[in-house]
């Protein structure tokens, strides 16, 4: 799914986004939980200072410095969730399309009679709905 921006992010949203990305970066560096938690607490202290800053210009400058610091301290091989884009299991499970069931052998279909009966009924309903909306296909357009 694409990431479509749904508006201009507020200053607080930018700070929260940077905080989350910073924590993910720390996870890549520290594999020991207690060491990571210590670094996360230090990180949270920095972000609380940005959030509590009353001067908007100074807070924006602190946010910009935080973005630069994150860029300069990025892990060379960041951790990724297995099923996320870039992860080791991303798009590994392929869901076969529905038309594959049309090529099942009749003995295979006989094992699931209710399912295939309902499927054939739904296919007929879909064809009827299609023809109602778009009309019947012209016989001269079929390539047989």
pTM for the structure as a whole: 0.61
Structure token pair of residue 44: 């949270």
Annotate 55-122 with DSSP letters as a single string: -HHHHHHHHHHHHHHHHHT--SS----TTSTTSTTTT-SPPPPGGGGGGS-HHHHTTSHHHHHHHHHH
pLDDT at 141: 76
Structure token pair of residue 78: 């960041």
pLDDT tens track for 61-81: 999 999 999 999 999 999 999
């Amino acid at each position: 799914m694409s990431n479509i921006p749904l508006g201009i992010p507020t200053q607080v949203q930018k700070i929260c986004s940077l905080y989350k990305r910073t924590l993910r970066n720390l996870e890549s560096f520290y594999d020991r939980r207690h060491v990571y938690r210590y670094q996360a607490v230090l990180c949270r202290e920095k972000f609380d200072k940005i959030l509590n800053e009353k001067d908007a210009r100074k807070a924006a400058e602190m946010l910009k410095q935080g973005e630069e610091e994150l860029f300069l301290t990025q892990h060379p091989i960041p951790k990724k969730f297995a099923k996320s884009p870039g992860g080791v299991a991303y798009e590994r499970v392929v869901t076969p399309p529905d038309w594959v069931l049309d090529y099942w052998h009749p003995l295979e279909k006989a094992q699931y009679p209710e399912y295939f009966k309902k499927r054939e009924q739904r296919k007929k309903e879909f064809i009827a709905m299609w023809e109602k909306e778009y009309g019947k296909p012209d016989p001269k357009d079929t390539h047989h």
